[in-house]
Each structure stands twice: as structure tokens, then as C-alpha cells.
Amino acid sequence: MLANVRNQLPADTSVHWHGLALRNDMDGVPGATQAPIGAGEDFSYEFIAAHPGTYWFHPHVGPQLDRGLYGALIVDDPNEPLVYDDEWVVVLDDWLDGVTGTPDEVLEELSEGMMGMMGGSGGHMLMGARSDLLGGDAGDVFYPHYLINGRPPADPETFTSAPGRRVRIRIINAGSDTAFRVALGGHRLTVTHSDGFPVNPVDTDAILIGMGERYDVLVTLGDGVFPLAAAAEGKGETAFAILRTGSGETPRPSATIPEMSRSILTADALAADPGVAFPSRTVDRELTAKLSGSMMAYDWAINGRRFDPANPLDGALGVRQGERVRLRIENTTEMWHPFHLHGHTYQHAGGGPRKDTSIVLPRKSLTVEFDADNPGLWAAHCHNIYHAETGMMTILGYQTT
């Protein structure tokens, strides 16, 4: 794949190909894998897209992601085993840019922590957003809008199809500080993929999806007009689209969707498809990433250190190519974090799903395993963009042997 990037922003940028196991120098992380693309400059990304699935791309510079600088990247499988009639991409986002301020202002305000709040600057910090599913504090940032495919509930995306058709829906959370609970009124969802990789199919009423995560679902369409809704988890607002397969009254964004509060799937309910599960073998290397910090101090860090590209994750440089690595992500904070590893798709320990971005609940830990088969300097970080940009990021780097 070849992507020519022309930077027409008045600032440095880059493109990170989220979830793809590509060659390291195309991963798009300034300071680790490339120099930033300066204003007015060009850069060509060229790499093999080795694995089919639902991916996306976005800059890895400051909070640019929260300005809508992203896109879906769907890698088709030349031997697609699933059978379906239609295929839709559903991108979820939280939006404030140009409405209540800019993402740079939010980052500056949050960085000041409690001091910023006392000083009364901005007012973007969200207090008291709570979610049982997320184990407590749901998010840090107040957003005036929640979007599906770039559209607010007042002007919703409408998907049109026919009853009985089977649809593959690829759901991507491109938000910066919001987990979404996604449901399609009047329908059950069959989850077939997590972060691009197949899982043993599981039926559910709703899915919880953190920032950076993707799920593919299959749905057999009913007859009528239905709400496709993504509740901003713990934030009291809902992103909204419409599915129309027949006649009927258009649902209102405020309508209650029973599926939202029935069975809600999270990644721990999934198991990798046997075709992509890692064969069991001895673990050669154990690493720990301890997530720390608090919303009040906004001192997010990994293993006690804020991001420094020259100072990688403890023990990571000892990894040898070809090793099986076990990574324990320990959340010592009072808030959930969507942890993302670049350049690899790990497997949740104990036969769980293949993923590259995983929700780690407060005071819980998650163990994942991967094969060190892609040498280089790989970023690993929280995909809350404001946590990552204030320090909750590290480098998991290893070299060819």
C-alpha cells in the first residue's frame, strides 16, 4: 500500500496506521519511527497490509486526532469467509473542536489539573461522569456533540437496505475521551471480529467499545425503521443514526432502546477464532506496564515515568526477535484506560480475543501475549489522547537478532 501525505496544516503531523502490523519505519510516531512531517511537507508511507480487517489511521502528534483527522482503513480479505449482502462502516466520535474550544486548549487546561480548574480557565473538564461498566470515572472531557459518521443526532446518517438482508457492520471508536455503548434497536448483534481479527461468534444486544477499539458485527435486518445508537458511556448523551428497511415512523434520538440495557458485550466475553489463536508455547519474556496518575494532578504515566522516547519500557530492550512475550498491564489508577500496542496484535491471556487496543478497568490488570516478530521501536500507550499526550505512553522496542 502506498499513501502520499501532503501536510497542509500549519503544524507538524504524521499518520499512524492503527492496528496494522507494518514495517516499523512506516508506523508514524515522530520521535520514535520518523521525523514529523512539517507544514507544507510531503511524506510517502509504503507498506504491506498483511492482515485483513477493520483498521483506521490518524496523526500521532498532539491532540490532532480530536480534530477529526482520521479515516477508516478496511483491508479486504481476498478469501473472505463471511457471507453478507451489505457492508457498512460506523465511525463514532466525540466532538468539541470549534464549538467549545479546540483540542489544544483542552490539553492545556487538563495538563494544569486541579490548578487549572481552580483558575477557572476553559471549563472543558468533565466531573462526575460515572459508569459501572467502566468501573467508575467514565471520562475527563465535556463534549457538546457525539457523532456517527461525522453527523449529530439532529442530522443523522441513514442506512437504507431491505428486510432479511445480512449486513456486516464495522464499528470504529475514533473518539478521544469517550467509550460508546452501541446497539441497534430491534436487533441482536453477532460479534465476528475484534480489532480486525476473527473471534468465535457471540450474540449480544449491545457492545462496549473504547477509544481505538473496533468490532465487526453481523446483523440480519428486520422490517421497518430502527435507531442505531451509540451512548456516550457515563456521559448521558447518545450518538445516533437511522436504519431504514421499510415503512414506519423515524425514531427520535431521545427514544429508549431496550437493547442498550440488556446484554452488553465486552472483550472478556470473546475468544480468538482457532485460525488466529496463538499456538501455546513457553513464555520467554515477561514485561509489566503499570499505569499511574490521576485526573486531579493529570500526571498520567507508565511505570512511574512520563513519556520519554529515549527511555523505553522496563525490560523491553532485552526482548529478542522471535520470543513469546507476556505483557501485564496493571491499572493502578481510579480510571479506566484503553491500552494500545503498535505493530502487533496480541491475544488476551487464557484464550481470549486477538486485539491491539484493550480496556483496562481501574485497579484491575490485563495480561496479553504476543510474538516478538516485528522488530523496531513500537509505541504503547493509553488511547485516551489526553492521557497519552500528558505522559501515559512508552516505547516497547526490540531489535532484530
The residue among 69 and 382 lying less far from Cu ion, judged by its C-beta, is 382
381 binds Cu ion (CB under 5 A): no
Amino acid at 72: A
Could you tell me which stretch among 145-153, 226-234, 245-253, 374-382 binds Cu ion (CB under 5 A)? 374-382
Binding test (CB under 5 A) with Cu ion, winner from 387, 394, 395, 398: 387
The residue among 225 and 291 lying less far from Cu ion, judged by its C-beta, is 291
C-alpha separations of 327 from 116, 313, 339, 367, 382 in Å: 35, 11, 11, 6, 15
CB of 363 to Cu ion, least distance (A): 14
CB of 58 to Cu ion, least distance (A): 16
The residue among 202 and 361 lying less far from Cu ion, judged by its C-beta, is 361
Q: Helix (H, G, I), strand (E, B), or coil: what is residue 396?
A: strand
Could you tell me which stretch among 70-78, 211-219, 268-276, 381-389 binds Cu ion (CB under 5 A)? 381-389
Amino acid at 85: D
The residue among 187 and 383 lying less far from Cu ion, judged by its C-beta, is 383
CB of 338 to Cu ion, least distance (A): 7
DSSP 260: G
Of 293, 294, 12, 295, nearest in space to 303 by CA: 293
CB of 180 to Cu ion, least distance (A): 16
Binding test (CB under 5 A) with Cu ion, winner from 29, 37, 69, 382: 382
- Confirm if 92 and 230 have CB atoms less than 8 A apart: yes
Q: Helix (H, G, I), strand (E, B), or coil: what is residue 233?
A: coil
Q: Helix (H, G, I), strand (E, B), or coil: what is residue 134?
A: coil
CB of 387 to Cu ion, least distance (A): 3
Vertex 211 angle, CA 209 and 213, to 5°:
55
CB of 159 to Cu ion, least distance (A): 32
The residue among 207 and 211 lying less far from Cu ion, judged by its C-beta, is 211
What number of chain residues touch Cu ion (CB under 5 A)? Answer: 4
Cβ atoms within 10 Å, residue 134: 22
Binding test (CB under 5 A) with Cu ion, winner from 13, 14, 24, 384: 384
The span from the CA of 309 to the CA of 127, in Å, is 32
Who's near 310: CB < 8 A, 6+ residues apart? none
- Confirm if 251 and 259 have CB atoms less than 8 A apart: no
Who's near 241: CB < 8 A, 6+ residues apart? 90, 148, 149, 151, 156, 157, 158, 159, 227, 228, 229
The residue among 213 and 216 lying less far from Cu ion, judged by its C-beta, is 213
DSSP 250: P
CB of 377 to Cu ion, least distance (A): 21
Restricted to residues 238-297, the positions that interact with Cu ion (CB under 5 A) are none
CB of 177 to Cu ion, least distance (A): 9
- Confirm if 288 and 100 have CB atoms less than 8 A apart: no
Whose cell is 476553559? That residue is 122
Q: What are phi and psi of 144, to 5 degrees?
A: -75, -20
CB of 44 to Cu ion, least distance (A): 32
Query: Going along 59-85, which residue ranges are E strands?
Result: 71-75
Restricted to residues 317-336, the positions that interact with Cu ion (CB under 5 A) are none
The residue among 16 and 383 lying less far from Cu ion, judged by its C-beta, is 383
CB of 294 to Cu ion, least distance (A): 11
Could you tell me which stretch among 102-110, 140-148, 162-170, 380-388 binds Cu ion (CB under 5 A)? 380-388
Q: Pattern of binders to Cu ion over 67-106, x per CB under 5 A? A: ----------------------------------------
The span from the CA of 59 to the CA of 66, in Å, is 10
Binding test (CB under 5 A) with Cu ion, winner from 67, 124, 337, 354: 337
Of 243, 242, 186, 183, nearest in space to 207 by CA: 183
The residue among 245 and 384 lying less far from Cu ion, judged by its C-beta, is 384
Could you tell me which stretch among 117-125, 246-254, 302-310, 376-384 binds Cu ion (CB under 5 A)? 376-384
Could you tell me which stretch among 10-18, 179-187, 322-330, 379-387 binds Cu ion (CB under 5 A)? 379-387
Kindly list the residues in this chain that would bind Cu ion in the complex (CB under 5 A).
Answer: 337, 382, 384, 387
